[in-house]
Amino acid sequence: MKKSSSIIYILSLTCAGVILVGCGTTQPGAATAPPPNSGQVLIYRVANFGTSLSLVVSVDGQDVGSFTEGRNYSGYLPAGQHVLVARADPNQGGTRPARTTLTVQAGRTYSYTAAWSQGGANLKLVRNP
């Protein structure tokens, strides 16, 4: 009886150790430290953006992602001036993209929502408080 108790105790400790080691590893999507001298930019889709549309986000003329319903842009940009552009894809009605210039300061977070204006004729980036 004493031998089986020792085996159960050792197995319990081994399982606990495996669980703790698994918790300490970096999983995909886990938070990491931001790059030095950078600020975070978040761009959300407005609730009525459209289920069949993607939000395409560009920074300084380079596409950084296409975001479907329930997904949003989150990225770090180096301090300094940047041009953010948000557009709908597919763009069947000639909707004009939203464009804004942002001066990023290190350590700050900037949050926007891509929303429709003028009855859906244009997109705009609304700065969140």
Residue 19: pLDDT over 50? no
Asked whether residue 118 is assigned to any structural domain, the reply reads: yes
Asked whether residue 22 is assigned to any structural domain, the reply reads: no
Strands of 122-127's sheet in order across: 73-78, 38-45, 109-117, 122-127
The pLDDT value given to residue 81: 98
Q: Which of 107, 58, 65 is nearest to 82 (CA)?
A: 58
Predicted TM-score (pTM) of the model is 0.73
Asked whether residue 23 is assigned to any structural domain, the reply reads: no
**Structural domain span for residue 93:** 38-127
CATH at 117: 2.60.40
The residue among 31 and 15 whose pLDDT is bigger is 31
E strands in the chain: 38-45, 54-59, 62-67, 73-78, 80-89, 98-104, 109-117, 122-127
Domain count, the chain: 1
Q: What is the mean pLDDT of residues 8-13?
A: 53
Asked whether residue 27 is assigned to any structural domain, the reply reads: no
pLDDT (tens digit per residue) in 45-75: 999 898 889 999 999 999 999 999 999 999 9
The pLDDT value given to residue 92: 74
Per-residue pLDDT band at 13 (split at 50, 70, 90): very low
